[in-house]
Each structure stands twice: as C-alpha cells, then as structure tokens.
Amino acid sequence: MAEIKFGDITFVIPTNHKYVKTLESIPKESPYFVIREGTRGEARNIGARLAKTEYICFCDDDIEFTEIFLKYVLSLSNERTIVGLQAYYPSPLLLSRCMFLKKSIWNDVGELLPVQHGEESEFLIRALEKDYKLVGIPRESVIHIEHPVSKYKKEYLNLLWLIKLHPKFLMRIIKTVLFKMKHSSYEDNKFLPTK
C-alpha cells in the first residue's frame, strides 16, 4: 500500500463554537472543513461530501494531537480499516472525537444518520456488518479539552436507540463482555479489595 501523506486527508470538524482548538493540530498540507450547520451527523456528512481526498478524519472541535500521533494512525490504516479512539469499556466501538477512514468506506457504508448523538456508533455498527475492521487506540492519545456546558447526560438513550436499530448489536456487546471476563487474568485483579 502506498504511503498516506498528510495532504491525502481531509479533516471534518462539526462545531457550533466560535473557537476551534483542533485547527491548531491539523498539518498545513491537509485540507479541512469546519461545518457549523445541522446536527453532528449532518455536519460530518457535509464535510465528507466536500472532501476531495482519499481519506477523511472526523474530529471533534476540542482536541489536540501531534504529528507523531497522526503518523501512527496512518500506519494502522488500510482499505478495510477504520482507526479511532477507543470507546468506553466494554463497547467494541470507537469515538468520533478522532476517527480516520478511507472515503470509499464512508461511500460504501453510507452517510451518518442526521442526529446529534450516537451517529458515529450507528455508522460503525453498519461498518462492522460490512466486515470492516475497527482499530481502537487509547483515548489518551489526544488531549481532550471539554467545553464547559456541552456534557450530554443521557448516553443510555443512545444505547436503547442503537439496540432498536440494530438488535444484533446487543448480542455483540454481551459476547464482548463475556469474552473479556473469561480471558481476564486473576493476576490482573489480585489487588482488588475482597470485601
């Protein structure tokens, strides 16, 4: 596979904030779109449609990352892989805080749903159903500077919505949790309190 260059990536950043911290980390060779209209799902779709590059990177507006991080992400990428920050345990999915993929994957899987929360999870479930691979890297790989008033407190509603749209997803989560429980080491837990 040919080496991916920074100029081959379009960064897509949905926001309703005036100041976009993420722009400070984007390489100067990379095109980007800051989309201030619609939901996060709609904004990401607008940016992906506008992108003329072979790769796209969906980013939130409040992260910092280094070129070393970006080169590592590129080294993990291929035609069948979506690379992103690991979701919260035990989810097998990724966070759209920073999610990198070939534009052809977005074309094949289809647009993100036009919702404000959970759009990346639903997109990734469809990607898994088409046998794309998700590669998670630690969330700590980027610096996340949260907005003071943008906390979303009803994550459980996203889970119910996703299960309604993709009932097989529930079984996948259960299997993932059981697998991780079965393969966790007693040694890893020896320092846990017994009472």
Residue 191, in any domain of the structure = no
Residue 106, in any domain of the structure = yes
Strands 143-144, 63-64: pairing kind: antiparallel
Which band of pLDDT confidence, cut at 50, 70 and 90, is reported for residue 192?
very low
Element (H, E) at 135: strand 133-137
Sign of CA dihedral 61, 67, 72, 74: positive
Asked if residue 53 lies in contact with residue 32, where contact means CB atoms within 8 angstroms, the answer is: no
Q: Which domain holds residue 94?
A: 6-185
Backbone angles phi, psi at 172, to 5 degrees: -65, -40
Residue 1, in any domain of the structure = no
Chain centroid to Cα 88, Å, comes to 12
Residue 164, in any domain of the structure = yes
Which band of pLDDT confidence, cut at 50, 70 and 90, is reported for residue 191?
very low
Residue 190, in any domain of the structure = no
Q: Tens digit of pLDDT for each residue in 32-78?
A: 999 999 999 999 999 999 999 999 999 999 999 999 999 999 999 99
Residue 104: is its pLDDT beyond 90? yes
Residue 176, in any domain of the structure = yes
- CA 91 vs CA 9, 59, 85, 87, 128: distances in Å: 27, 20, 12, 6, 13
Residue 194, in any domain of the structure = no
Number of CB atoms found within 10 A of residue 27's CB: 13
- Count of domains forming the chain: 1
CATH of the domain at 110: 3.90.550.60
Q: Tens digit of pLDDT for each residue in 115-139?
A: 877 889 899 999 999 999 999 999 9
Residue 195, in any domain of the structure = no
Q: pTM of the full predicted structure?
A: 0.81
Taking the C-alpha atoms of residue 9 and residue 1, their distance in angstroms, rounded to an integer, is 16
